[in-house]
Structure 1
Amino acid sequence: MQKRTAHAIPLRLRPLSAVVMMLVSAGALGANPDSSPAPSSAEVEFNDLFLHQPGGSAVDFSRFNKGNIVLPGNYRAELYVNQAWLGRMEVRMGETAGKDSPVLPCFDEPLLIRIGADSNKLTPAATASLQDRDACVPLHAIIAGATASFDGGEQRLDVSVPQAALTRQARGYVDPRYWSDGVTAATLQYNGSAYQSRAEARTATQGYLGLNAGFNAGPWRFRHKGSLGVDQGNARYQSIQTSLQRSVVALRGQLVLGDAFTDGTVFDSVGFRGVQLASDDRMQPESQRGYAPSVHGIANSNARVQVRQNGNLIYETTVAAGPFEIDDLYPTGYGGDLEVVVTEADGSVRVSRVPYAAAVNALRPGVTRYGVTAGQYRNAGLHGRPAMFQATVQHGFTNMVTGYGGVVVAEGYLAAAAGAALNTAYGAFGADLTHAGTRLTTQPDRHGFSARISYSKLVEPTGTNVSVAAYRYSSNGYLSFADAMTLRELEQRGMQSAMRGIPRSQLQLTLNQRLPPGYGSLYLSGSVHGYWNRRGTDTQFQLGYNNSYKSLNYGVAASRQFSVSSGRWESRVMLNIGIPLGKGQHAPYAMTGIERDSSGAVNLQQSVTGSLGVDNAFSYGVNAGYAGGSGRHAASLAGNASYLSPVATLTATAGKGSNYSQVSAGISGGVVAYAGGVSFTPTMGETLAIVEAADAGGARLANGSGLRIDRWGHAVVPGLVPFSRNQIEIDPKGLPVNVELDSTLQQVAPTAGAVVAVRFATADRGRPAVIRTSRADGKSIPFGAEVQDAHGNNIGTVGQGSRIVARGLRADRGQLTVRWGKAAQDSCRLDYALPAAAQRATRIDVIEAQCH
């Protein structure tokens, strides 16, 4: 039987199916109305008077005399298993026993895996039946008590499976045997920008190029991350890290050779050069994984934002005036404060620190997390590379208790830590104690301890969420590993007195309060740092309130920070109001911000942002500002624009103030080279897929906004989740009408950093056409009559008004046969002639032809 696809079935056939089903349910067919309802597989006899056309002949409806009127073929369907949605997929409908048997969903091994069936509980007979690829095996023949039904009108496959026959795995679990290492490929991600500002007759020019290069071969990943900075013509390249790594499936871990960072769950995260074998939480199901941090801030102009961690520049970008959020930092460890440097267009610089401490270290029962690192300590601010060794372990004993500990051994340094995390009805507690000893040459050796206690709790009755509340106290002789290495190097250089800021106490708090519906939310965050050998305490906190009224969004925030250098407090109060300027898809959005600081200075910002294009590829923003108070008055005007092209992201900004001007331009994107060719992409991530679909140029991918297949049939899909199911889906809209995809959805489960090739088979199904026809005697052709080509292939159906929707016309000229019954006189032939085909036809031709 000829293979059909869902999109190859004429659209006119679905209303007919719906009408037939309505007539069946209303008892309008020729079956005995007094009889009990027949099962779906029972035969009925259609009363064609309900579809009788005046002057026309009757059409043969015998093919619909079965309860299940779905035709054999492939269909795109929504998959539901025990009422839970599992996504969209391709389902094959077939005749399970013979030509006259009912049409049922066919099940094979991939589909059983998709629904979560336990393969260990299948009978040998069921397993053997799955080996025949041509056979259509129904679900009830494989799993006792299981059922599967397909709704052609809703394009939905409902599967019911007894719980005992399903695998018992956490949500998001993927069997490691389906993890893919991908193909051999070279990758390059880049982010370049040039920034120039003029203030007080002085011109400053900076350039930045961030690179993340890689090469994949089997399970191995070579990675190099670096940045090139240019300041007033002086260029300096900084190598952030270079490593060779791979996944170790048997140990559920990641092996790293070269530069990387230690885990920050027990000790502070530090950089190293050497070898590391540590647990990879990404190998756990998605429901078992942790979190990633983000950075928030406010810019007063088109500003340059840099993020540093442990002395390394890990991120740089240009942001427009107003609030900004950076949520795409590469993971460099779970600890180590982030230093955020905001350089405004007028040359002013603001530096803030984002506390980045480990959360409560609770694990599920039976789960073990480990890490072993050996090599050299690496810090961009130090010249020495002392040898180091670190080992940590965490284990969940019960639902309530998790224990953890570790050791750090280095030249002149030894530290040991032990702690526990408790999950209780009163919240999650964590407590640990670290003892450290540091050997010095010109000073007495230091020995001390550091105690830490942390707490988190969601108070459901009040909606109060204490995300992190942590307090750490360190004795005078305690030094962290990083501080100890810094002090030892300063001592060797005769600068031991320059070591400032040995921690004494530290308090962190993050609190969110949900108010009753319609009243918005409150948040509070702050930190206090005290030191043994430095006067003053670093203190900063922020209190804010956010709410909305219809389309109006507004918020107010107050921040207060103590500056040790100036010895005084600095306070800020901010009010932000946002509202869309219209209701259309591309309606601009206006944001008004007012800020006042403790010196009496007032800053007013008004911005309008928006996007244009089918895929919102072009975005823009205009900002006007005014600064007054404290004896100064200044106005500014700035604009920014970005364009997401198929191969790169382009950005530009320009601004003019009372005593300065600023311009910048940037480009970012990625390149992937592999055996199938070279592909360019405007956005890129660590793990990605290359889609190959010949002759499908212009088709949209559902995995990203504006992501389309290029003219060579390639597309790069970034941001895949390692070790998890990732759906790659093509929207056939925009394809040439003669090109069809055998499937539009595939799933992949790549390992970390993999480049997987996902190939979608395409085929030239022939040209489609709408043919307006009638018989030679002027009578109309019966509705629902089948249309066949010269080879007997069914290529369409007669619809209303004797219109034929034909697909798969292989020649521009030919002869078709129309049949509406079994007798010889219940058919006619027509000759058709199509206009010359365009190179890339995107519309269906409409022609006229008479049927003789």
Structure 2
Amino acid sequence: MNMAYAGNMTALALLVSGLFYSAPTLADDTALDSMVIAKNVKFDSAFLNVANIEGADLARFANGSNASPGVYNVAIYINNTELMNSDVEFKEREDKTVYPCLNQKIVSNINFNHESVPKSLLAALLGGEQCIDIESLVTGSQVAFDSNEQRLDIGIPQIYMDIQARGSVNPALWDKGVPAATLGYSMNGYTSQSHGRSNNSFYTGINSGLNIGAWYLRHNGSYTWMENGPSKYNTLNTYLQRDIPVIKGRILAGESNTSGQIFSTLPFSGIRLASDDRMLPASLRGYAPNIRGIARTSARVTVSQGGQTIYETTVSPGEFLINDLYPTGYGGNLDVTVHEADGTQQHFSVPYSSVAQLLRPGSHRYDFTVGKLRSDFIADSPDLFQMIYQRGLNNTITGYGGVQANQDYYALQLGAAVGTPIGAVAADVTQSKTKLPQSAGGDQSGQSYQLSYSKIFSETNSNLTLAGYRFSTSGYMDYMTAMQTRNALTEGYDPNSIGRAKNRLTLTASQGLPEGWGQVYASGSLQNYWNKEGSDQQFQVGYNNHYKNLSYGVSVNRSQSGKGTNQNNYLLSFSIPLGGADNMHTPQLRTDLNRDSNGNMRQQATISGSAGETNQFNYSASAMNGSNGAGTSGTLSGQYRSPSTSMSGSYSNGKQYQSGSVGMSGTIVAHPGGVTMTPYNSETIAVVEAKGAQGAAVSSYPGIKVDSRGYAVVPYLNPYQMNEISVDPKDADSTLELESTTQKVAPYSGAVVMLKYGSKPGWPVLINTTLDGAPVPFGADVVDSKGNTVGAVGQAGQIYARVNDEKGRLKVKWGTDTQQQCSVGYVLAPQPKGRKQADIQQFTTPCQKS
């Protein structure tokens, strides 16, 4: 029954009269000492200013903030750390104080130190007691209930607790989710015509899953169709996984990628057992990079790693930023191709390396992989065994190491990361040996030495994200280079066609200048080879600043491949809002001036913005003028995020070319309640069930509302951490009452959790009533024929209640004696069908003794 409503009404009535005392909630670990609850307080009922003073029963408020006996859905906090949401029965003691009756499930989830916990509590637990009064069994414990917030605070002395790190969530509370199937999709159709030739293509990427219990099956792939080229479906990976909370890890079987934390990322088919830092509390946790580029036309951008396309999108002319890549590991360069509408292409590589990571003392990471290498560029499937381990040795040093091996290769790495006052430094050495035939020079062995550095200088506003240097001897090969070299020999090619790295330098840094002077940034990579001429280079430097509402920046990009091909780009940009900056729908005007190494000049102006109550519409219009015969061109693009899917489209027209694209993305979720669609793509989601609450907004992300069937999908939950999900019934049928509007859940990674928000219909009524000519006692409870508390008596005997039936009787109780009860009847006026807002109906009727 919905006791929360009654508790709120009683609290509100007393608060208005200035008589209500609310015990403080536990603000920190010392809150037990400051948590002072009033005891044996006597209220002067004369201050109520009501006619029937003797009828006001205030005894139950004499010992703190006590609710009426009944069942409440509450958020339970232990020493200010949230434990769980649960229905809790409140019972009345002989002294009329009310205490929470905690069941076995609730108490067993409290992180007690069972060696020091009182024997009386252990006896209650072992005896199967289903109504445990913590205050009476645990000396020094205190309870405070806030009926307005539906929050139950339980303070327990730390001597009885097993201390955990801040942010800890008991693994027993992790939710595996419900049986479900998901299909995430991202579709993009692209067409262009240039110099009398057409180019049409279509791309679909899918992320599908099937969850049964704690087992999650995943399949990720993409389909590419090209009118004048190959069309095929490409499987990225298919695997089955299961979390193992006791070892803070996960087992995976099928096709996936190694982590790349120590060795470079490798695609494999096999079995992997690895730890997951996300299972640790946030306070104990020890990277896909942003991709920037410049498109000359409305272009198609593809991102690949290890020869596999992992991302594709359409961008407008000008500078673009891709910052929503799914992480595929911590190492391995990303290859980016910009397919221009006029048929030309740009290629560049983005270094993808992790920073030196230190671990806390005693904590560790592990990763074991057994299987076979997956690569379209190697004819066979070489065996792969990989084992890595990292451990925090003390507050300063973290040791790490690993091995990669098969019958024809091995690599052994040992290293350490050190935290110093001037930054984090990691150094390691890797010894490798590759079996090769005598005709190719015989077995090759060598070493690779790596040094990396990371530091944020808060004093100077500097951020040196990554500085790394690796030197490899001529005989050293990493696993992929070794397998490619052996494959080249098998295929009859020169083994020197596979480059063996010699020196590699990477750098990413930013520097904030004095106030008002902006920020400069730089990134770059340089790599040369033992058996190839030239080097691969990529550098970017830039400067950003703003003056009032005007933002501006300049950047220089340079890339050079080992074949000697150079490409430079220079960009100067300005951006300013076209209206008040405080209006979220104010459009932005951006102008770009661009020059490349071929002497081509381009000027571009773009207006972009959003519209709609939840910014569900996005639009952009740009005009460009280019030199060397490029002429003028224009591009229009727009995006609409509906409640079920996200749609986009663009059109571009220029000298001797035109192009267009349409796209659609979202996720389809099949769950026990049916099928629900969402415009968002996410791995870990919640399905909200709120029957009858169509139109109610759901927290976290804009545009998420309960559909006509009573469901909504909430994306991007943080796994293994508590996520609060609220339902706002403001736009739902006002005759519907939700039993609770907020719940919290800690899902497994990849889980589809289901949160049910109970509801029942009801109509608000205001009844002016008297008993024997005098107002009904203030603060009395009002219950319906089923025994549910539906309201309370305010001043002047006025009852505010929410009733479920169109006619009936309400019982008013201000004590347990039959002489302290009466009842009132009501009949509601007919309400128009389909009406969203229900008027408060008002009656005047006497209260009759039972």
TM-score per shorter chain, which class? 0.7 to 0.9
Secondary structure in 2 matching 1:609: strand
Contact preservation (8 Å) 2:747, 2:753: yes
Secondary structure in 2 matching 1:838: coil
Summarize the Cα distance change of 1:828–1:163 in structure 2 as closer, same or farther, 3 Å threshold.
closer
1:683 and 2:680 are equivalent in the alignment: yes
What letter is aligned with 2:587? Answer: P
The 2-side partners of 1:651 and 1:114 are apart by 47
The 2-side partners of 1:788 and 1:556 are apart by 70
Could you give the per-residue CA deviations for residues 573-620 of structure 1, whole angstroms, max 9, x where no partner exists? 33242436333343333333333334443333333333333333x222
1:101 and 2:96 are equivalent in the alignment: yes
Could you give the per-residue CA deviations for residues 381-440 of structure 1, whole angstroms, max 9, x where no partner exists? 333322232232323322222222223223533322222222223322211122223333
Equivalent in the alignment of 1:31: none
What is the aligned counterpart of 1:377 among 368, 373, 376?
A: 373
What letter is aligned with 1:481? Answer: Y
CA deviation after TM superposition for structure 1 residue 730, in Å: 2.8
Equivalent in the alignment of 1:33: none
What letter is aligned with 1:439? Answer: K
Equivalent in the alignment of 2:399: 403
Secondary structure in 1 matching 2:730: coil
Within 5 A, what are the aligned runs for 1:512-527? 512-527=510-525
What is the aligned counterpart of 1:478 among 476, 487, 510?
A: 476
Secondary structure in 1 matching 2:410: strand
Equivalent in the alignment of 1:30: none
1:713 and 2:707 are equivalent in the alignment: no
Equivalent in the alignment of 1:189: 184
Secondary structure in 1 matching 2:369: strand
Structure 1, unaligned stretches of length 5 or more?
Answer: 26-37
Summarize the Cα distance change of 1:435–1:47 in structure 2 as closer, same or farther, 3 Å threshold.
closer
Contact preservation (8 Å) 1:416, 1:435: yes
Secondary structure in 1 matching 2:304: strand
CA deviation after TM superposition for structure 1 residue 763, in Å: 3.8
Stretch deviating more after TM superposition (364-373 or 472-481): 364-373
The 1-side partners of 2:206 and 2:76 are apart by 42
Equivalent in the alignment of 2:430: 434
Within 5 A, what are the aligned runs for 1:650-799? 650-760=647-757, 762-764=758-760, 766-771=761-766, 795-797=790-792
What letter is aligned with 1:625? Answer: A
CA deviation after TM superposition for structure 1 residue 468, in Å: 0.9
Contact preservation (8 Å) 2:103, 2:130: no
Equivalent in the alignment of 1:845: 839
Equivalent in the alignment of 2:440: 443
The 2-side partners of 1:254 and 1:828 are apart by 60
Equivalent in the alignment of 2:29: none
Equivalent in the alignment of 1:638: 635
What is the aligned counterpart of 2:502 among 501, 504, 509?
A: 504
Within 5 A, what are the aligned runs for 1:303-318? 303-318=299-314
What letter is aligned with 1:506? Answer: R
Contact preservation (8 Å) 1:89, 1:745: no
1:452 and 2:439 are equivalent in the alignment: no
Contact preservation (8 Å) 1:831, 1:850: no
What letter is aligned with 1:244? Answer: L
Secondary structure in 2 matching 1:733: helix
Equivalent in the alignment of 2:257: 261
CA deviation after TM superposition for structure 1 residue 472, in Å: 0.7
Contact preservation (8 Å) 1:96, 1:136: no
Stretch deviating more after TM superposition (321-330 or 337-346): 321-330
The 2-side partners of 1:109 and 1:249 are apart by 22
Equivalent in the alignment of 2:620: 622
Secondary structure in 1 matching 2:424: strand
Summarize the Cα distance change of 1:197–1:844 in structure 2 as closer, same or farther, 3 Å threshold.
same
What letter is aligned with 1:237? Answer: Y
What letter is aligned with 1:305? Answer: V
The 2-side partners of 1:579 and 1:644 are apart by 23
Within 5 A, what are the aligned runs for 1:328-347? 328-347=324-343
The 2-side partners of 1:447 and 1:538 are apart by 24
The 2-side partners of 1:825 and 1:168 are apart by 49
Contact preservation (8 Å) 2:602, 2:624: yes
Equivalent in the alignment of 1:32: none
The 1-side partners of 2:818 and 2:244 are apart by 69
CA deviation after TM superposition for structure 1 residue 828, in Å: 8.5
Contact preservation (8 Å) 1:388, 1:411: no
CA deviation after TM superposition for structure 1 residue 85, in Å: 7.1
Query: What number of residue pairs does the alignment pair up?
Result: 826
The 2-side partners of 1:294 and 1:550 are apart by 27
What is the aligned counterpart of 1:469 among 467, 470, 479?
A: 467
Could you give the per-residue CA deviations for residues 245-294 of structure 1, whole angstroms, max 9, x where no partner exists? 32344444332222222231222111122233333333333344464544
Within 5 A, what are the aligned runs for 1:273-352? 273-289=269-285, 291-321=287-317, 323-352=319-348
Provide the identity percentage. Answer: 35
Secondary structure in 1 matching 2:492: coil
Summarize the Cα distance change of 1:258–1:823 in structure 2 as closer, same or farther, 3 Å threshold.
closer
What TM-score, normalized by structure 2, do the two folds share?
0.86
CA deviation after TM superposition for structure 1 residue 228, in Å: 0.7
Equivalent in the alignment of 1:214: 209
What TM-score, normalized by structure 1, do the two folds share?
0.86
What letter is aligned with 1:808? Answer: V
The 2-side partners of 1:806 and 1:691 are apart by 28
What letter is aligned with 1:634? Answer: G
Secondary structure in 2 matching 1:126: helix
The 2-side partners of 1:792 and 1:213 are apart by 48
Within 5 A, what are the aligned runs for 1:802-821? 804-810=799-805, 812-815=806-809
Secondary structure in 1 matching 2:163: coil
CA deviation after TM superposition for structure 1 residue 653, in Å: 1.7
The 2-side partners of 1:66 and 1:108 are apart by 25
What is the aligned counterpart of 1:41 among 39, 42, 46?
A: 39
CA deviation after TM superposition for structure 1 residue 827, in Å: 7.5
What is the aligned counterpart of 2:144 among 140, 149, 165?
A: 149
Contact preservation (8 Å) 2:257, 2:267: yes
Stretch deviating more after TM superposition (148-157 or 197-206): 148-157
Secondary structure in 1 matching 2:747: coil
Summarize the Cα distance change of 1:826–1:284 in structure 2 as closer, same or farther, 3 Å threshold.
closer
Secondary structure in 2 matching 1:608: strand
What letter is aligned with 2:257? Answer: F
What letter is aligned with 2:655? Answer: S
Contact preservation (8 Å) 2:504, 2:527: yes
